[in-house]
């Protein structure tokens, strides 16, 4: 994240998700936000690296009794990609169940049968409807949900153990990549006040 303002507040994310009318779109945005996953990890990609095929989230990748999903970890240039487990909240799990039942999806079916290009279109269209056109210096795009996930997580969980958990959630190979988000932690201001704000 090169743009230090390149993330959405929780209110902006909620506004964007609430703008969606279709259950698929609402679930997709919420899923990207809650997991911090890359779009290609969720919907798949046929040309990400050396024309290899990544299938994206399948119904069988959801572990219902543990509120967990299994995602491919892209960006590691390994094939097949390593897998990671990502916890999700009860509300997202409920939406997943509703969507899967409504669409009569089976275990080997992809949850989201759309391309990553379509995801970008959906996010831009909903952003326009919600009045969220730009985040920082860039037009709204799917990766803003990933950055926003990280910033909110760090603001609420600011310790080394939480940073390691975030690294695993995101599939970062190096914790230094994840540590970048520590600059958004709120207790930095308290530390500055405690050290320099006495006189």
Query: What's the pTM value of the predicted model, to 2 decimals?
Result: 0.87
**pLDDT over threshold 90, residue 161:** no
pLDDT at 163: 84
User: What would the mean pLDDT of 146-164 be, rounded to a whole number?
Assistant: 85
pLDDT at 192: 61
Separation of alpha carbons 121 and 57, rounded Å: 19
Separation of alpha carbons 164 and 18, rounded Å: 31
pLDDT at 189: 59
* Residue 165 CB contacts under 8 Å (≥ 6 apart), including other chains: 157
Domain residue spans of the chain: 10-183
Running DSSP on this structure, what letter comes out for residue 9? Answer: -
pLDDT at 50: 64
The number of helices, as runs of H, and strands, as runs of E, in the chain is 9, 5
Tokens of 46: 């046929």
Tell me the CATH number for domain 10-183.
1.10.443.10
pLDDT band at 139 (very low <50, low <70, confident <90, very high): very high
The 10s digit of each residue's pLDDT in 40-91 is 999 998 765 566 778 899 999 999 999 999 999 887 567 778 899 999 999 9
By DSSP bridging, strand 83-87 and strand 68-72 are antiparallel
């Amino acid at each position: 994240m090169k743009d230090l303002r390149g993330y959405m507040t929780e209110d902006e994310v909620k506004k964007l998700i609430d703008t969606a009318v279709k259950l698929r779109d609402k679930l997709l945005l919420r899923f990207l936000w809650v997991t911090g996953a890359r779009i290609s990890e969720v919907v798949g990609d046929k040309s990400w690296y050396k024309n290899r095929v990544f299938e994206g989230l399948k119904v069988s990748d959801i572990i219902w009794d543990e509120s967990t999903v299994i995602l491919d970890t892209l960006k590691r240039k390994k094939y097949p990609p390593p897998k990671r487990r990502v916890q999700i909240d009860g509300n997202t799990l409920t939406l997943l169940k509703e969507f899967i039942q409504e669409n009569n999806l089976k275990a080997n079916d992809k949850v989201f049968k759309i391309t990553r290009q379509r995801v970008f279109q959906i996010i831009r269209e909903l952003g326009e409807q919600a009045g969220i056109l730009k985040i920082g210096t860039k037009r709204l795009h799917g990766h803003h949900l990933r950055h926003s996930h990280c910033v909110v997580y760090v603001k609420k969980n600011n310790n080394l153990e939480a940073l390691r958990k975030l690294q695993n959630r995101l599939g970062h190979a190096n914790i230094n990549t994840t540590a970048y988000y520590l600059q958004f932690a709120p207790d930095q201001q308290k530390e500055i006040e405690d050290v320099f704000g006495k006189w």
